[in-house]
Every structure is written in C-alpha cells, then in structure tokens.
Structure 1
C-alpha cells in the first residue's frame, strides 16, 4: 500500500495534538510491573505495536512468543524469560532475525542463564531455559544498544546478589539508561552509578500505580511541521518539561532551527521564529532516534549539517544511515557518510523532476515514514510506501498530521 500525500490550507492556525504515550517508558513499566507482581494497571499505556507485543507476551499462557519487529520487547523479554523457570521460544520478524543479540545473550549466560540460538548464531530466534540467575560482576562495552543494558539492569534486583555492571569505553544513549534506573527507583529499587560502574542491589520491587509520559520522539515530527509552516502554532498535550526521555532535547535542537517551545498548563506550544542557522552540527550519541527528523528538516530548510554519534542507527529497524542517504537523494540531496557513525550534507543538490511522483521507501521503519511525511509541505507529489509502519510507535499519526494540512489518499499496489 502507498499513500499519495496532499496538502490543503488549514482554517485553524492553532492546532492541538494529543501525543501518544512513550513506548520506551511503557515497555519498561510493563516489565517492572511484572517483576514487582503488581496488581495495578499502568495509566496512559502506549497503544503502539511494540507495547502491544510486550503486553501480549506478558499476558500469554504460551511458551512460544513472536514479538514481530519490536526490538525493545525482544531485548527486555530475553532477560525476563531467562529468569522465569520453563522453556521458552522467542522470535520475531525477518528483520528482527537480522538484528544482533549476542552481547545480551552472552551476558545472561555468564549470569547462569541457558540461552541457545534456534537458527543463526548471535541472532533471534532464541530458545531460553529459564532458571534462577546468580548476579555479581559483569562487564559490557558502553557502546552497545542501551536496550541490552536496560534489560540487564531491570532484572538485576531480582537475581541473587544483584549486579555490579562495568561499562567499558564510550557510553552511548545514556539518557535511556538513566530513564531505566529512574523507573526502577519508582518501584522501590535504588541503584548507584559512579563513573562507568552501575551497582544494583538485590532487593524486592514494590508495586506502584504509575503513569506513562507522552512521547517526545513523536513530538519531533511536529517540530518539523512547524519548522516548515511559519504561520502555524502547535500545542502538544501530555509532554513533561522535566522528562525522563532523552529525546526531550529535541526542543533545544529545534530552537536553533527557529522553533521555540513554551510550556504552560494548556500544553507545550511550538511557534516558528523564522530564524535559521547557517549550519547545524550535532552529536546524536544520546538521542539517535531524532536523527531522521533532523536530517529531513535540515535538508528541506537548506541548512548544511554534520551529524555524528550515529553508530546504533545501522542496527535499528533498518540501516537508517543508508536509508536516509537513499531517500533524500530522491529529493535531490546528496548526503555522505563514513558508513560507521556519521551523516553529512554540505549543500550539494541535483535537479529532480518535480512533476513526477516521488515515492519514499520506509524500509519497515516507522521513523522513516514519519520523518519524511512533512516533506509533503515542500514537495507536491510525495508518495509514502508502506505507510502503516507508523503503528509501531504512533498509530494515529496520519489522522493527526491531517490537522496540519497534510492529507493522504490510498494507492493500492
């Protein structure tokens, strides 16, 4: 399926949007709820595909689980099931079977787990023989996926002797680890992080009534829309000014791109000042999920950029660095990369046929669809392939952006 995007004039210059709740927080809360044997339901739980996958496994009586494309669920549940007595099969989509998990499996096996690979060494699906785990000391590279580390941290209080985790080298996606530890503290477990060592004691989690925040990652697409739409004011509902989410830094990034943020009891108001920088350089080591939004925004605002700290983008839903290079080239932008951890645009462009439809591939990646859709405000013939990938994190995305004058019609194919 494809969506042919259309643009219309909007009658309301002030748009109010109820953002989805954070799937990162929701999935952590679900695991902590389970580990604390909580009788309480989580308030404002995400309705994303990833959270539904997590919830489905935790509520299932089966021994075989398919989490589809939900990377967070795959990593968190690998750790969780390794301490639940029984034999479990954990699998996912074809792309999930290409996403490495060896670092986490090796760490868990070091703690006494027994996890085997059903197909390819180092990748899902997994056969997990759940048992009691013994904690102690463990060493991991700090530049691996933060989801591996968060998975270990969350089960750490429930295993014998807790866990002393040493992270070697550069620590990436630090805010996600801080989020995990802060949520664990809400459930009664206080950890200690000094230097590159995180110590989590053996201790019981305490059940608690909790509420998931709205999603700052989802907010990024509204910042992009306001950046392209100077006359429009957007009021986002449900965001916290003091947030557990590292992606709340999007407000600082877009302030440099001419979008201001004002917090009030009515919501978070975004307005366009018209100011833009001559160049935008940024290290995304702590906010990699914002790179796609910023890449499309900078290109369409004609702002050369150099992004670094993107090493985790190659193992996301797709290789996001390659995907951005490929799809922005369709719009005439010539991006380059060292093919490891950076993305660069120096302003080089080629002419394209604007009268022909431009079909953007989404690579089964929700953030590709959502980052490119606002480009319809600049390109009249934009088509989004496989548009419903947005349900992974923002199920009502297309209905919401229609309020900003970005409509769609379905093209079957």
Structure 2
C-alpha cells in the first residue's frame, strides 16, 4: 500500500510501502471517558446511600461544576487521579437551602434542577445569563403544574418546593438531559 499527500508529486522512490499481515491484536486499553456518562454517574452516586467510586473521570470544568453542586447539597467528594469517591446524601432530607454554581454547564443545570426540587428547600442555581437563557420550559411547566417556585432573574434561578409522585409527561423531542434529570429523582418519590 502506498501513502502520499494528494496533490503533491512524489518521486517513486519517496513513496512509503507498507505490508499488512494478518495478526492477533491483544492488550488492554482504557476507553476515553464520556463526560455525559460521568455527569450521570456522579449525580446517581451523590443521590445514593453509601459510598461510590467512579473511575476514569476527566475532571473538566463541566464535571467540576457538577461536583461543586453535589458538595453544596452535602455529598462528600474526593478526587484522586482519575477517580472520584462520592459519599451520597439523602436529597429528600437536606435541611438547609443551598446555592449551586453550575458555571457554564447546561448539563449540570438541567440535571440539578430536579435534584434541588427533592429537598423542599429554596435552592438557587447560578450561572451566566447565557446559561440561564437556555431552554428550561419542561421544568418551568412541571413547577407551575405542581405549585412550585421556579424564578429566573439574570444569572440566578431559584427553585423551591418538593416534587410530588404522579404522572410526568414530557415532549419526546427534548434533550435527554431533562429526562435524565427526572429519572435521577422520580424513583425517590
């Protein structure tokens, strides 16, 4: 097989000749971490009883935002190398209001709104004004229907009240982040 850069004139003696022979590939590799999966695993661990260890986590700014929110709600977080140890908290029994910084992360914001609505406390989620201009209508409608507080002012979103058990109907064309956010908490109702 010869390789050369298209559009360049390589003399015949400059071509690279490679011979590929059948062989067995073996070994171990660590797949690149999924930020989407890491958010979800960390939040599940934060809402679960006991201690969980999540491995192969890329501590990006978005993941750090999620970890900060979990800490603000009372979860214990220890980061070591590419692993995160999470000591969960019963989000139904959080006894104090919290301020949660979502930084610039839409995933963190959309995942944490239902988590905050499990505490019954007044919780404020912060982020840039641009972040809070992202679509959140699914949660606004749920809060309105259940008589819960959902107030956006500049870079602040305040939610207060506790979600109730019942039927939750959401449009099928929305981001999976809304559905994941609800799935984190609805089994706890």
Q: Does TM, normalized by the shorter one, top 0.5?
A: yes
**Following superposition of structure 1 onto structure 2, how do residues 195-214 of structure 1 map, counting pairs within 5 Å?**
213-214=32-33
* 2:69–2:101 contact (8 Å) kept in structure 1: no
Paired position in structure 2 for 1:234? 52
Paired position in structure 1 for 2:151? 336
Going from structure 1 to structure 2, the CA distance change for 1:282 and 1:266 (only over 3 Å counts) comes to closer
- Work out which of the residue numbers 100, 110, 116 in structure 2 matches 1:282: 100
Give a deviation string over 1:337-378, Cα, whole Å, max 9, x none. Answer: 23x543212x3469x6x4x52223464212111111112222
Going from structure 1 to structure 2, the CA distance change for 1:303 and 1:227 (only over 3 Å counts) comes to farther
Q: Is the partner of 1:358 in helix, strand or coil?
A: coil
User: Structure 2, unaligned stretches of length 5 or more?
Assistant: 1-29
Paired position in structure 2 for 1:323? 138
CA distance in structure 2 between the aligned counterparts of 1:217 and 1:303, rounded to whole angstroms: 27
CA distance in structure 1 between the aligned counterparts of 2:61 and 2:76, rounded to whole angstroms: 19
Paired position in structure 1 for 2:180? 370
Counterpart check, 1:247 vs 2:63: yes
Q: Is the partner of 1:307 in helix, strand or coil?
A: strand
TM-score (norm 2): 0.63
* 1:327–1:360 contact (8 Å) kept in structure 2: no
Going from structure 1 to structure 2, the CA distance change for 1:331 and 1:218 (only over 3 Å counts) comes to farther
User: Structure 1, unaligned stretches of length 5 or more?
Assistant: 1-210, 380-413
Larger Rg: 2
Q: CA RMSD in A?
A: 3.4
CA distance in structure 1 between the aligned counterparts of 2:96 and 2:52, rounded to whole angstroms: 25
Going from structure 1 to structure 2, the CA distance change for 1:360 and 1:332 (only over 3 Å counts) comes to farther
- Where is the strand percentage greater, Structure 1 or Structure 2? 1
User: Offset of 1:239 from its aligned partner?
Assistant: 0.7
* 2:45–2:87 contact (8 Å) kept in structure 1: yes
TM-score (norm 1): 0.33
Which has the higher relative contact order, 1 or 2, with Cα contacts under 8 A spaced 6 or more apart?
1
Counterpart check, 1:220 vs 2:35: no
The runs of at least 4 consecutive aligned structure 1 residues that moved more than 6 Å come to none
User: Offset of 1:297 from its aligned partner?
Assistant: 0.8
Give a deviation string over 1:209-258, Cα, whole Å, max 9, x none. Answer: xx985244533333332343324x33322114xx3434323222212212
Q: Is the partner of 1:269 in helix, strand or coil?
A: strand
User: Offset of 1:268 from its aligned partner?
Assistant: 2.5
User: Offset of 1:264 from its aligned partner?
Assistant: 5.0
User: Offset of 1:291 from its aligned partner?
Assistant: 0.9
CA distance in structure 2 between the aligned counterparts of 1:252 and 1:290, rounded to whole angstroms: 10
CA distance in structure 2 between the aligned counterparts of 1:268 and 1:284, rounded to whole angstroms: 19
